[in-house]
Structure formats: structure tokens, C-alpha cells
Structure 1
Amino acid sequence: FGVQASSGGDRWLITLVKYDPSSGDAIATNAASTISDKGNGLYDCEYIMTLSGPYFLEIMHSDIDNRTGIVRSPMQIKNSPFFNLVVLPNVTNADRTTSQIVTLFTCGISSTFLLQTYDAFNNKQWYSFPSLPQSVNKYKDYVSARFVQGENSIKGSIKNYPVCSTNPILNSDILCAPFSMEAYITAAGVYRLTIEVNLQFVSKLEISIQVLPGLPDPKSFVLSGAGFLTSIAGVASTFSLRVLDSFSNQVLMSMSSALVYIAGYVDGGAYSCYRSEKSQCIDPTPTSTTLSISAPRQASILETEAQSSDWILTYNCTRAG
């Protein structure tokens, strides 16, 4: 460091400072390490770094009077051969491999997301693709993504291919920044997103993504339950309402069951009805259906209604014939 070695009359203060390369301003300072030499001119220090990025070493030196023990004012060593250094992220933590934008998306909507990995200290980790050719325009032939659910496999479309560069420190792998993918999926459920590089499965880039059902389809409502299609006049009947999207995925709603009741008394027999549904998403859609009533009663119009805070189902019926 340009300081002559002595017989124990030196004290060193070494500090690692993370900085912003665009402005040069300090971002974080690692704990300083104070080291006294042993008289052989060799100095060792050790750090555990948890933040990746560019650093500079600040090295301060003080002379010590061996007779009096007085420590002179420290001076910064300007010509350190290790003045700048780069701390790389640690080994990728498979549990922190995630998508930056979307971890779940909706059926029938083409969704784009970025894939990014992290190390154990939450540093963004570029993934290394070993033995890939240097030509960037060929990466699309080597990187592929699939959404797997059981035996079903849907290939994702990579929109932005990895922007890669040779690792100047390791000098053996090619480091690729995050890349984005697009997928169009119609079946709801949990999928495994798998990444292949050179047709080889990359286990530490595997993550789970939940695909939600799409918007309710006005033509895909399933009504079921005892006493609904055959109802007894004046007796409340319980049924379940199942709402589907346009891809036949069940749509989650706040109401799973409701009461069907009959207003007044009606004669037994078959009734011609118009069913109308209304919710926050669906406008009223009259649908013709038939309802059978047992136990004769004196009335000609039948109304049944199932209602919740966000869902209204109404039947307006007249006796057939």
C-alpha cells in the first residue's frame, strides 16, 4: 500500500463502502475492521457481505509509537490496488425464485411477467447459462418455458429474450438478466412453470403460478340441489349455485347456496318460467325454463328468488297451458 512494513507500529482501519456508480454517493457502509500487523508486512481481514453491488475500499493507516503507545492521526491510503471491487450475489436461493410482476393471472387474458431469482440475502441474482453461444440472437432457440399441470403442458412465449454478457469475474459463464414471458391459459388451477436451457430442465428456476378463472359467463350457470326442479308450494327449498366462466372453470363467488321460496299458492303441474340473473358483472339475461310444482294450490303466478349481496336470481313463472 506504499507504506513500509514495521515491527508492529502500524494500525489499519479498513472499511467497505457500497456506492452508486452513477453518482459515486455512498449507499451503505460495511462494519469497519481494525487490524494490527505482526511485523511481517502481511495484513488479513475478513468480511461477511450481504449486499451485492459495487464497493470501494477505504484504507486508513496510523503509525504507532512503540515507546509511548501514541497513535498518530490516520491517513487514507490512496493507491490501494484493491480500491474498487464488485460483490456478486450469492448462490441462487430456490425458495426466492419468483416472478416480479405476476404470481397469478386470469384465464383467457394474455399475461406477461418477468422471471427473476434472488439469493439468500435478497439480492437479485442473474442466472448463469453455461456453454451458450455468444450470439444474443440465438438465445431464443435455447431458452424455453412451459406451464405444466398434470399431463397438460402449455408452452409460454418468451417476449424479451435474455440480455446476456460474459461474467468478467468468473470468466466462464454467461450471465443473463431477467427475461419476460407471455402465456395464454384457459384452464384454471396451479401450474408449475418450468424453464429449460439447451433442452435441459433447470430445477432451481421452477416456480408455482396460480391461474384464476375468468369473468362469469352469462350462459354458464349451474343450479343444483334437492327440491329445486321439483318444488313444493309454500315450502322453502335450498339449492347451490355454481357459476362458470367461458372456459368452464368454476368462478368463486361469495354465495354458495340460497333459498328458493314460492310467493302465494299455486296449482300443481308444470309451469313455464323465465329465469333472470343479475350481479355486478352480469346484466339480467332472461332464460326460458320449466318448473314442476306438486301439491295443488290456488294461484297462477309463481316467483322464486335467490338473493345475496352481489347476486340476484329471479324466476317469473306462469302455469303451462
Structure 2
Amino acid sequence: MPANKVIKLVSRPKEMPTLDNFSIEEAQIPSPAQGEVLLRTLYISVDPYMRGRMNDAKSYAPPFALNEAIAGGVISEVVESYAEGFQKGDVVLGNSTWTLYSVAKPERLTVIDPNIAPITTALGVLGMPGLTAYFGLLDIGQPKEGETVVVSGAAGAVGMIVGQIAKIKGARVVGIAGSDEKNEYLIKELGFDAAINYKTTADLHAELAQACPDGIDVYFDNVGGAISDAALSLINKNARIPICGQIALYNLGKADVGNRIQSVLLVNTALMQGFLVGQYAARFPEAVSQLAQWLQQKKLKYAENIVDGFEQTPHAFIGLFTGDNLGKQLVKVAEPSNK
């Protein structure tokens, strides 16, 4: 069996993360105890929320500890099992460390059925990003037929699913993303009605107003910052604003200063609500079933940007903040042994 490797956070980024914030070290392969399984990593998910956990600050999740392995969504293969219900060769989803091999208890793992969809979808459209899009849009956004839905970060793993669900519900959908290529994909492949390149537009507010002549009924906020300021200035009466992420702010070296929005919300009797997908854990089966059905009916598409090689994980993570990815950003570590 080859040696184990581990990726650790060794310093906290001040602004944009760099490779110097990470170390890749050799480690011993752990030995599973009774009731545990030994896992071989196949795919690692890198996600924007992890940037917040690199700060030593209070948030909805505890910060990553320095000089310890980073952890997140991982697809693995069972190598050895001392736990009931798991056998060698099972492909599982769990919250695991950035290591080649790890040990886990069965209650933290879910067996992935490759007959439903490719296994990588368990980290994307049928995983945390898809669930986030489903509950944030449908529970808080509640789009209605004929309404206008605007999605920032629209070419990301969450944003592209949000836009497609809004289209399924009969809404007009406008996406905001960071390249012409991404926006062309949103319109031609995913059926968005319009898309705006926030990096090249001379006047985001004016272009957004032109794309939304009837105003904005739902703004799904993935980014915060100036993009959200422009969207919020165009909201309609009784608009709904699910707050999913604030990626534009994650790498700021100082506190953000923006518009005061209370009067905008008050005048429009609008709802702005932050949410965490974990709040909906009891309803995950409902969402996965519906998302899988839409996939099978070809009402829902997804994109993946897969980076090869365990050592490339820090590069893939940093790429989230430089616009490298279209859709879900993943690192491929190994193939399942039964493929």
C-alpha cells in the first residue's frame, strides 16, 4: 500500500490565499478500529465557504486549526471495513480530511449509488451545492411563474442550479458571472434569459436594469459586494433575497463598507434571509430525489471542473477565487478500483 499524504493549513491568509498557506506532508496510513472503515480518497471538493474557516474568527463553523489536515466533502472508497453495513469497494460520501487515506465511523458516511448518476454528482448537483440551491431558492426565494430571478455567481456550482430551478418554476432568469464564455454557457446550454459579465460591463446597474425591465422579484445572493448593491437597488415590492454566500468579501484585508439597505427592504416590504444548508438536513432525501428526477428528465444540467492530482488541491481551491471553474470545482485523486 502506498504512503499516505496530508494537506495542512500552516498559516492564515490575510487576503487571497496562496500556496504558502498550505503544506503537503507524508503521513502514516491510519489503522481502523472496530466499528470503523479505512478509506481511500477518490475526489475532493473545494468550496468557497472553506475560505471563511481559514480565518481565526467566529462564524457558523469553527475555524480550521493550524498545522492540521483541512477537511471537507470527499468521495472515498472503502479499503477495509470493520463496520456493519460497509464492505470493501463501497464508494462513500463523507466529511473527510484532505488525505490520501483516512479513517471514519459509519454514521458519518453515505454509500453512493453509481446507478443514479456519476459518483461526482454527490459533491455537486446531488450534493451540498444542489441542496443549497434547492432549499435557498424554493424555501426562501419562492419564485413564481413570470417573476424575475437574478443569480450572482451564476456559473458556480450553486448558481447554475438555482437558475435552472427558477426556469423550471417558470421564472425569467438573469445570471451574473465573470466571463463571456461562462455567460454564453448559461444562456445557450442552461436556458438563462440573459447574463451579464460583471468584469467587463461599464455600468452594472444600467445593464442589470436593462436585463430586468420589470424589476427583480428574487435575488439569490452568492457574492455580496458591489454586485449585490446593484441588484438590491432594483428589487420589487415583496422581493425575496436568499443570502447564500459573500464570495466578493472573503479575501478583503479590511472590513467591508457598503450601502445601508434597511430602507430599501422596508420600502419594498422585502425579505432578506441568510441560511445554511444544514438547517434542512431532515429534508435532504426530498431534495435529492427531486434533483435526481430533474436530472433524469433532462430538465437539469450540471458542469464540473475537475483538476487531476492530490497535490493540486490547493491550486484548485485558490482557483475558486480567480474564476477558474465553470460549475463544481473538484480534485480527482484516484479512480474506483472496480471501474
Shorter-chain TM-score tier: under 0.3
Give the number of the structure whose alpha-carbon radius of gyration is greater: 1
User: Structure 1-normalised TM-score?
Assistant: 0.22
**Higher share of residues assigned strand:** 1
